[in-house]
Chains A and B, each alone.
Chain A
Amino acid sequence: GENVEQHPSTLSVQEGDSAVIKCTYSDSASNYFPWYKQELGKRPQLIIDIRSNVGEKKDQRIAVTLNKTAKHFSLHITETQPEDSAVYFCAASLNQFYFGTGTSLTVIP
């Protein structure tokens, strides 16, 4: 089956700086790559996604890039704010979702 690796496991940034989280996947047939944000004690919330026929997608301060050749995709958060502090999960999907192990992001005011 698919194997998704996510790095780093923890990330601390100063407010206003950028944060980058990276994921790699193993199955070249995977065609959908969502990112979820999970606050403590809450459900995962979809924040952005990208399909395999697209290289980059942006939504305000967040963006996702996909390199199909290298089988990796990344989440970029610019102008970070304290409310961005959460655990972020990537996933790769063909018929089932396979999640990374999460990145705990802390934005220091």
Chain B
Amino acid sequence: DAGITQSPRHKVTETGTPVTLRCHQTENHRYMYWYRQDPGHGLRLIHYSYGVKDTDKGEVSDGYSVSRSKTEDFLLTLESATSSQTSVYFCAVTASGSLYEQFFGPGTRLTVL
């Protein structure tokens, strides 16, 4: 599982509230990613990080921000959650020593009411 954990695993929140999801890895992977998974859309990249304090946007970054203050943690924040952000969120890493292969965390199911 490439040493990836996500917290929380499930969350229900209300529209307009801030939400932070955490991805934690224990194997010193440099690259980390946040995806959302929705029926009919597959997996879509939100943001990614290529090092501490180095992040960039993916194809669906609007309404999301990220931070990476240490190698092991990559945080995804919804500043003001909306119902359209109800989804399953997956963190992923590129395995150390690999240029390509991505491995996923267990996912966080977020429901915004």
**Chain B residues near A1 (CB-CB < 8 A):** 59
Complex alpha-carbon distance, A102 and B107, angstroms: 17
**Contact residues on B (Cβ < 8 Å of other chain), bracket:** 20 to 34
Partner of A44, one of B40, B41, B48, B90: B90
The answer on a CB contact under 8 Å between B106 and A43 is yes
**Chain A residues near B41 (CB-CB < 8 A):** 101
Main secondary structure of the interface of A (DSSP, over half): strand
Complex alpha-carbon distance, A1 and B61, angstroms: 14
The answer on a CB contact under 8 Å between A43 and B48 is no
Partner of B105, one of A6, A43, A93, A100: A43
Whether B113 sits at the interface, judged by CB under 8 Å, is: no
Complex alpha-carbon distance, A34 and B42, angstroms: 14
Q: B-side interface residues toward A, CB under 8 Å?
A: 1, 33, 40-45, 48, 58-59, 90, 100-107
